[in-house]
Amino acid sequence: MTKDISKYVGIKHYFGRSDHDGCDCIGLVRLFYLEHGTGLDFTDGQPPVTPENYFTAASWRRLFRYIHKHFDELTDDSTLSYGDLVLFRINDCEHMGVIVNEYGLCLAMEVPEEEGVTTSTLYHKSFWHHVQHKVYRLKGGIR
């Protein structure tokens, strides 16, 4: 499946945002899923995560609970499809992105992220597949 994803490439990194003028890795994923009609906003009704508590275990537990509620973990990532969610760990930091083709091309923020400098980009599967990672598929699929 080929979709135009160019509007998601080149968005500058800004913590806590999720629009085409700036976003962080979760914001990029949120923007993608909302614009694909899923209604997923990656919030859980609790106060938003702040820069001060972003890297805490509690904030990541919240995210993982949300993911497990709305996504199924794939045990075989050889069957990737458009809209699959990827969580990967690089340089001791957790990152997330979205698969945009069946070959594992992943839309994500540049690593390492730097506020206002780095941008969203596309990573080949060889970039994220060799590091610790998990892949999830939205329950019910994506449009």
Query: Average pLDDT over the chain, rounded to whole?
Result: 88
Residue 46 corresponds to which tokens in the numbers above? 């609790």
Residues in CB range of 29: below 8 A, 6 or more apart: 42, 85, 96, 97, 98
| Cα within 13 Å of Cα(48), Cβ side | 10
**Residue-wise burial string across 94-118, b where 16 or more C-beta atoms lie within 10 A, e elsewhere:** ebbbbbbbeebbbbbbebebeeeee
Please report, as a single letter, which amino acid is at residue 96: M
Is pLDDT at 116 greater than 50 in this prediction? yes
| 83: region left, alpha or beta (phi > 0 left; psi from -120 to 50 alpha) | left
Distance CA(29)–CA(51), nearest Å, equals: 18
Q: If we measure between CA atoms, which residue out of 63, 73, 3 comes closest to residue 36?
A: 3
pLDDT tens per residue across span 75-87: 988 889 999 999 9
pLDDT tens per residue across span 7-27: 999 999 998 889 999 999 889
| Cα within 13 Å of Cα(70), Cβ side | 20
pTM of the model: 0.88
What's the confidence (pLDDT) of residue 1?
42
Residues in CB range of 72: below 8 A, 6 or more apart: 136, 137, 139
